[in-house]
Amino acid sequence: MEYTDATSQEIDDVMQEAWIAFHLYRKLPLKQRAAFMRAIAKEMENLGDEILKIAAEETNLPEARLRNERTRTMFQLTSYADACERGDWLDVRIDTALPDRNPPRVDIRKMLVPLGPVVVFGASNFPFAYSTAGGDTACAFAAGCPVIVKAHPAHAKTSEIVASAIFKAAAACNMPTGIFAHVHGAGNEVGETLVKHPLVKAVGFTGSFIGGKQLFDWANQRKEPIPVFAEMSSINPVFLLPEKINKSATDVAKLYASSITLGVGQFCTNPGLIIGMESDELQTFISALGTEIKNTSPGTMLHPGIFKNYVERRANSLAQEDVETVAVAEGEALFNQAAPTIASASGQAFLNNPVLHLEVFGPYSIVIRCKNEAEMLEVVDKLEGQLTATLMATENDIRSHEELVEKVKNICGRFILNGVPTGVEVCLSMQHGGPFPATSDSRFTSVGADGIRRFARPLAYQNWPDELLPDELKNTNPLGMWRTVNDKLTKDKITS
């Protein structure tokens, strides 16, 4: 480790600067925030291929994947910049005065304003898209908040270089000095000091349950608790319904073999649990999935810590009573390489053993064989909150399993039909967040421009003259925004 942990004094200096920057940055027009975000995207591109090589060295991810991830990161920055400027996310509501009502109603106008400095903890598995200049940072900048990134120690150099791109963009756009800061911290102390600093007003995190829950607890133990959006843990259950499996067991198996092994299984949306009902066709599915997985190769994981966890948790899961190993990738696994693995267990075994409910981060999936629909319903009742849940089902299946469909819907943030949970589209309709422990607050998303709202709160202006209101709330609607005026959505000017 060539970087030293930030001291408490350094963190305090950084936070004081962020606080000053906050008061300047939040007054800037949306257009300027958006220009800054676009400049960051540009500087990310200007880093050229060099950054891909460095990131590949640090994370063991292939350059092609990293190139795509950088493109995605730039798209996040530019598309959230567009959304920021469009201003729909501000949720402008205006109720004009009713002087003749008894009692009279005064003029009230509401819009979202930024919370304050946001601390972002980068993810090990997305060195670009959910790290230094990733989704949380982009949303916080759009909301009007300065950002303090704690570099992920597993890709500290990549983080340092991406930070330099943000600093460059900030300088080019004449942003206040404290708009962005980048600190290192290999242990827990830096994280704790950051989350507990009184000038921090929100936290964004993507990573493990233990890490995210710790940040959540620290934030709630503060004298002034602050919101934490932690994306933590999900096993992304997939339900195989009978007619679908009867028709296409082998195709579904092929589809899932590739989803399970994509990126060496290191996605928060990796399907770790596949639930079907006992039948010959389910056996066909399991065999076909096993055959596919045997033919895959072990893949290099992000870092030895994640590898160690994979090895231990997989072994623990496979060692449970009534768990059978269906298939392990046949190629030889070197140190730090994960061998994709499929296991299987009965519905009863799953119901009786909470160990089987735990996420095994990596290319591991367990197929649960329920003896009937009633048992499948019991399995759903045992599941915790999930980022995603998937049904592999025909329309008949859906119509004839209504209770199952309703129960599954209630535990996830994204409900997929006949697809795979891996691959998270960056768009406004995306929900990347789900009931606890998938995330710490299911009411928000960390992907898509709606994520901006995590870092903003409504402020109502009561009885202000038009000329003293922010442009977003002025009668003439100079920014041409959608606003709800007297309960009606409109872009119209307000005429008195």
User: Which range, of 101-109, 129-137, 259-267, 352-360, touches its own copies by CB under 8 A?
Assistant: 101-109
Query: Quick check: 22 and 146 in contact, CB under 8 A?
Result: yes
Q: Does 371 bind its own copies (CB under 8 A)?
A: no
Backbone region of residue 60 per phi and psi (left: phi > 0; alpha: psi in -120 to 50; beta: other values): left
Is 399 strand, coil or helix?
Answer: helix
Residue 28 CB, nearest approach to its own copies (Å) = 13
User: Which range, of 108-116, 168-176, 297-305, 307-315, touches its own copies by CB under 8 A?
Assistant: 108-116
Closest CA to 158 of 188, 193, 187, 123: 123
Binder of its own copies out of 3, 284, 313, 464 (CB under 8 A): 464
Binder of its own copies out of 430, 452, 479, 494 (CB under 8 A): 430
DSSP H stretches of helix in 295-449: 304-318, 347-352, 373-382, 395-400, 402-409
Closest CA to 430 of 72, 158, 128, 155: 72
- DSSP H or E segment with residue 118: strand 118-121
User: Which range, of 3-11, 41-49, 220-228, 292-300, touches its own copies by CB under 8 A?
Assistant: 220-228
User: Which range, of 39-47, 52-60, 267-275, 463-471, touches its own copies by CB under 8 A?
Assistant: 463-471
List active site positions. 231, 268
> Around Cβ 301, how many Cβ atoms within 10 Å?
29
Q: Does 468 bind its own copies (CB under 8 A)?
A: yes
Closest CA to 306 of 344, 267, 258: 267
Q: Does 225 bind its own copies (CB under 8 A)?
A: yes
What does the chain come to in residues? 496
Residue 133 CB, nearest approach to its own copies (Å) = 22
Site residues for its own copies, window 391-410 (CB under 8 A)? 395, 398, 406-407, 409-410
Nearest-angstrom CA–CA distance, 171 and 473 = 30
Closest CA to 179 of 153, 226, 142, 228: 142
Closest CA to 124 of 155, 158, 161: 155
DSSP H stretches of helix in 87-145: 135-143
Tokens of 90: 């501000």
Residue 327 CB, nearest approach to its own copies (Å) = 28
- DSSP H or E segment with residue 111: strand 108-114
Query: Quick check: 159 and 59 in contact, CB under 8 A?
Result: no
Residue 255 CB, nearest approach to its own copies (Å) = 13
Binder of its own copies out of 83, 147, 163, 252 (CB under 8 A): 83
Q: Does 348 bind its own copies (CB under 8 A)?
A: no
Binder of its own copies out of 216, 267, 285, 310 (CB under 8 A): 216
Residue 367 CB, nearest approach to its own copies (Å) = 22
Residue 4 CB, nearest approach to its own copies (Å) = 33
User: Which range, of 57-65, 239-247, 293-301, 484-492, touches its own copies by CB under 8 A?
Assistant: 484-492
Binder of its own copies out of 460, 471, 492, 493 (CB under 8 A): 460
Helical pair 189-196 and 209-221, crossing angle rounded to 10 deg: 40
Which DSSP symbol is given to 472? G
Site residues for its own copies, window 121-180 (CB under 8 A)? none
Binder of its own copies out of 50, 100, 224, 332 (CB under 8 A): 224
Tokens of 319: 């060692």
Binder of its own copies out of 10, 12, 13, 88 (CB under 8 A): 88
Q: Which residue type, as a one-letter code, is found at position 264?
A: V
Site residues for its own copies, window 227-246 (CB under 8 A)? 227
Closest CA to 330 of 364, 302, 356, 294: 294
Site map for its own copies, 18-47, x if CB under 8 A? -----x---x--------------------
Nearest-angstrom CA–CA distance, 298 and 36 = 41
Nearer to its own copies, 1 or 223 (CB): 223
Tokens of 313: 């948790």
User: Which range, of 109-117, 182-190, 267-275, 284-292, touches its own copies by CB under 8 A?
Assistant: 109-117
Which DSSP symbol is given to 416? E
Nearer to its own copies, 185 or 451 (CB): 451
Q: Does 247 bind its own copies (CB under 8 A)?
A: no
Q: Does 374 bind its own copies (CB under 8 A)?
A: no
Q: Does 414 bind its own copies (CB under 8 A)?
A: yes
Residue 131 CB, nearest approach to its own copies (Å) = 23
Residue 439 CB, nearest approach to its own copies (Å) = 10
User: Which range, of 4-12, 234-242, 272-280, 440-448, touches its own copies by CB under 8 A?
Assistant: 440-448
Residue 151 CB, nearest approach to its own copies (Å) = 28
Q: Does 437 bind its own copies (CB under 8 A)?
A: yes
Instruction: Enumerate the β-bridge partners of residue 366.
Output: 273, 343
DSSP H stretches of helix in 87-207: 135-143, 156-172, 189-196
Binder of its own copies out of 186, 419, 474, 475 (CB under 8 A): 419
